[in-house]
C-alpha cells in the first residue's frame, strides 16, 4: 500500500516537472520571437476611425435678366398723297378739261352735244346728296357741281365710274374727253376706294344704246344707268 502511494507521488511530481518544463520552453520560444521581430507589438492597436467630411455644395447663382423696357415707336400719321396732273398751266393739284371748240353744226338726233349747253344759274352743288335726293332731276340739269372728298365706289371703264357713300345712291361720272387724252390719259387712273375732288356739270343721259357706244358700257350697266336721268361730266379732278 505504501509502495503504491510512493509511486503515485513520483508520478505527480514527474507530471508537474513536465508541465513546468513545457511552460518554460514556451516562454523561451516567445522571447526568441520577440527578439527576432522587435517591431512586433503585442499590444493591440486601435482601428483608426475614418471620418468623411462632405464637400460643401457651392450654391448656383441664377441671374434673371431684367425685362427689357419696350421701345415705343411713334409713327407719324401718313400725309395724304396728292396726285397732280396738269395738262395745261392751272392751279396746283388740279386736272382741268379744256373743251375743244366745235363748229356750229346741228347735232344728229339722239347725240349729246354739250359744247353749247348753257350752265343753269345758281350756286354750285357741293353735296352728292343734293343730286341723289332731288326728285325732279330735270331741275338741276346743267348745274355746276363742286364736290370734295367723295369716294369712288365702282369703276366701269377709263372714263366712267360711280361716286357716293356706300349706303347711299351713287352718281354716275364721266371724265370729259380732254381728261382721257394725251399725257393726262396715262396719269388719270381712277380706282375704287379713292377720294376725289370733282368739278363739273350735270348732263342729261343719252339712250342706253348710245351709252354703250360712247362709254363702252355693258347692256346691264346701260340699263341701270337709265334710272339716274343725268350724270356728272367731270372737268376737273383732284386726287387726295
Q: What is the mean pLDDT of residues 24-51?
A: 59
Q: List, in order of start, the domains of the chain with CATH numbers.
A: 95-99+118-239 (2.40.50.140)
Q: How confident is the model at residue 108 (pLDDT cuts 50, 70, 90)?
A: very low
∠ CA 16-18-3, rounded to 5°: 60
- pLDDT, residue 157, reads 87
Q: What confidence tier does 48 reach under pLDDT thresholds 50, 70, 90? A: low
> What are the cell numbers at 24?
518554460
**Is the Cβ–Cβ distance between 162 and 171 less than 8 Å?**
yes
Q: How far apart are CA 24 and CA 140, in angstroms?
A: 159
36-40, 56-60, 175-179, 181-185: which range is least confident on average? 36-40
CB of 115 closer than 8 Å to CB of 99: yes
Q: What is the mean pLDDT of the chain?
A: 73
Mean pLDDT of 148-165: 93
Give me the mean pLDDT over the 199-209 stretch.
94
125: confidence class by pLDDT, cuts 50, 70, 90:
very high
* Average pLDDT, integer, range 157-177: 92
Query: What pLDDT is stored for residue 1 in this prediction?
Result: 57
In whole angstroms, give the CA distance from residue 131 to residue 136: 10
Q: Sign of the C-alpha dihedral, residues 111, 114, 119, 125?
A: positive
* Torsion, CA 180, CA 184, CA 190, CA 196, rounded to 10: -110
Cell numbers standing for residue 11:
508520478
For residue 52, give Cα distances in angstroms to 45, 47, 55, 86: 21, 16, 9, 98
Quick check: 23 pLDDT over 60?
yes
pTM: 0.54
SS (H, E, C) the chain: CHHHHHHHHHHHHHHHHHHHHHHHHHHHHHHHHHHHCCCCCCCCCCCCCCCCCCCCCCCCCCCCCCCCCCCCCCCCCCCCCCCCCCCCCCCCCCEECCCCCCCCCCCCCCCCCCCCCCCCCCCCECCHHHHHHCCCHHHHCCCEEEEEEEEEEEECCCCEEEECCCCCCCEEEEECHHHHCCHHHHHCCCCCCCEEEEEEEEEECCCHHHHHHHHCCCHHHHHHHCCCCEEEEEEEEEEC
Amino acid at each position: 500500500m505504501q509502495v503504491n502511494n510512493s509511486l503515485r507521488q513520483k508520478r505527480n511530481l514527474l507530471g508537474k516537472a513536465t508541465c513546468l518544463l513545457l511552460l518554460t520552453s514556451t516562454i523561451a520560444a516567445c522571447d526568441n520571437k520577440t527578439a527576432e521581430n522587435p517591431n512586433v507589438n503585442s499590444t493591440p492597436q486601435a482601428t483608426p476611425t475614418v471620418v468623411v467630411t462632405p464637400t460643401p455644395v457651392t450654391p448656383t447663382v441664377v441671374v434673371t435678366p431684367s425685362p427689357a423696357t419696350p421701345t415705343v415707336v411713334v409713327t407719324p400719321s401718313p400725309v395724304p398723297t396728292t396726285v397732280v396732273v396738269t395738262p395745261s398751266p392751272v392751279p396746283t393739284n388740279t386736272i382741268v378739261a379744256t373743251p375743244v371748240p366745235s363748229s356750229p353744226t346741228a347735232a344728229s338726233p339722239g347725240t349729246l352735244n354739250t359744247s353749247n349747253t348753257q350752265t343753269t344759274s345758281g350756286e354750285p352743288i357741293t353735296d352728292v346728296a343734293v343730286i341723289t335726293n332731288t326728285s325732279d332731276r330735270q331741275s338741276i340739269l346743267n348745274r355746276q357741281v363742286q364736290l370734295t372728298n367723295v369716294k369712288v365706289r365702282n369703276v366701269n371703264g377709263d372714263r366712267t365710274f360711280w361716286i357716293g357713300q356706300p349706303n347711299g345712291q351713287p352718281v354716275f361720272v364721266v371724265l370729259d374727253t380732254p381728261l382721257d387724252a394725251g399725257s393726262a390719259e396715262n396719269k388719270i387712273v381712277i380706282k375704287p376706294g379713292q377720294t376725289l375732288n370733282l368739278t363739273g356739270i350735270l348732263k342729261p343721259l343719252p339712250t342706253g344704246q348710245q351709252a354703250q357706244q360712247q362709254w363702252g358700257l355693258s347692256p346691264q350697266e346701260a340699263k341701270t344707268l337709265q334710272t339716274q336721268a343725268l350724270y356728272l361730266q367731270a372737268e376737273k379732278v383732284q386726287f387726295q
